[in-house]
Amino acid sequence: MNRRTFLQSSAAGLAGLAVLKSPGFAANLAKPKKRVGLIGTGWYGKVDLLRLIQVAPVEVVSLCDVDRQLLTEAAEIVATRQLSRKKPRTYGDYREMLKEKDLDIVLIATPDHWHALAMIAAVQAGADVYVQKPIGVDVVECQAMLAAARKHGRVVQVGTQRRSTPHLVEAREIVQEGRLGRIGLVETYCYGRRGISNPPDEAPPETLDYEMWTGPAPMRPFNQQKHPRGWRSYMEYGNGTIGDMGIHMIDMARWMLDLGWPKRISSTGGNYFHKEGKPNISDMQTATFDYGDLQMTWQHRHFGERPDPDYWWGATFYGEKGTLKAGISGFDFIPIGAGTRIHREWNDASAKYPVDSDRFPEDKTEKGIEYNVAPAVRAHMQDLLECSESRGRPRADISEGCISTAACVLANLSLQLGRSLTWNAEKGQVADDEEANRLLARPYRAPWVHPLPDKV
């Protein structure tokens, strides 16, 4: 069967993606199958894994989760979707899974506070890795993960799949061609809504190893909101909305503009309208990332109206010659004065890089899938596979994930400390701020030990 894949342009780095008809599974069947394992079989773990199965005849041999019910369900689904129809081995502890050292690729889709330890262990075991964003919950975790990938020579792709989203690749080309002129401001944002929730504390379900689920995070009473998906509302396990939603758009803007580390980070905000609830993330936050001659901002707000209902989660680029609005469902290029306006939907059949959704009817009925994002995840997985063969750097290399994740973490530290932070990228520290530097690594709950860049 022929499938469209989006491959990195060798002539211009990642100036764009070329749409090609691949020979498909038939040619790949002659090659040794990549042996795959997944750590974290909940919502997006299955979404990622099933997209990988769609683009290559991999063999999923191992699954790991601390929730036996999720683990069993995932094993049954995988057995129906992979070519061999074999049910993967299952584990409750990722360390036992990695002891086998029989995996070529490991996917990691645990709660954020587990990403660093699992990813470092996977590359130490000789596997290439696809790790969900954000890569860590503190700056030193990010630095250690990058150091581990380089030390062990492994390919590590981060799940910031905006870099592989067909309509956003076209939008990036508009930026790179200079059609916006000089860009002075990029606004990134998410305007969601949430209510006040107070689930009762209770004993964890019998199928969940809550001790292992908590891992290096502080031990807190269990409630049903935390697992399997509500943990994002608690700072103990992540970095709030900027760490969950912001990283996607901050990373996208960095990619479109070829930006590295910001020079200065400042942030204000807090939990203003939902104080009575148990979740402790901020319901409103504004952050500024200073790049000298360009400013990037982030804003989220979990109350009130959305300024633009079509772009409730996205980025707006303001240039001398025009404006670009870009989000997960499309983009709008609006030139100033003369010029042709471009409106693009995510599934526009006339787009420069059309999506491949028509080739995968199973997407339409898959539980939990983000249908409009599936083509991007497939392209992201294809890029991982290509780099696993060539040993090149993927589009969302761990180095890029380190910058985008750390920028979000530093914004939260600025909010916490009530002052701006000047970042010294060469030293990997906040300049002239000992208190901030002490906060670059969160305390780990014993017996778990925080990874360090020189000890991975």
Report, in this order, helix, strand and coil percent for the chain, each rounded to 5.
35, 20, 45
pLDDT 10s per residue in the chain (456 long)? 233 333 333 233 323 333 222 345 555 666 789 999 999 999 999 999 999 999 999 999 999 999 999 999 999 999 999 999 999 999 999 999 999 999 999 999 999 999 999 999 999 999 999 999 999 999 999 999 999 999 999 999 999 999 999 999 999 999 999 999 999 999 999 999 888 999 999 999 999 999 999 999 999 999 999 999 999 999 999 999 999 999 999 999 999 999 999 999 999 999 999 999 999 999 999 999 999 999 999 999 999 999 999 999 999 999 999 999 999 999 999 999 988 999 999 999 999 999 999 999 999 999 999 999 999 999 999 999 999 999 999 999 999 999 999 999 999 999 999 999 999 999 999 999 999 999 999 999 999 999 999 999
Pick from 33, 28, 30, 98: nearest CA to 63: 98
SS3 404: helix
Q: How far apart are CA 162 and CA 185, in angstroms?
A: 20
Strands of the sheet containing 89-91, edge to edge, are: 89-91, 59-64, 35-39, 105-108, 128-131, 156-158
Beta carbons within 10 angstroms of residue 349's beta carbon: 8
Where along the chain do the CATH 3.30.360.10 domains lie?
181-351+402-455
Model-level pTM? 0.94
Q: How far apart are CA 119 and CA 156, in angstroms?
A: 9
CATH of domain 181-351+402-455: 3.30.360.10
Pick from 224, 215, 161, 179: nearest CA to 404: 161
CATH of domain 3-163+375-397: 3.40.50.720
Encoded tokens for 204? 């964890």
SS3 439: coil
Pick from 8, 93, 100, 4: nearest CA to 55: 4
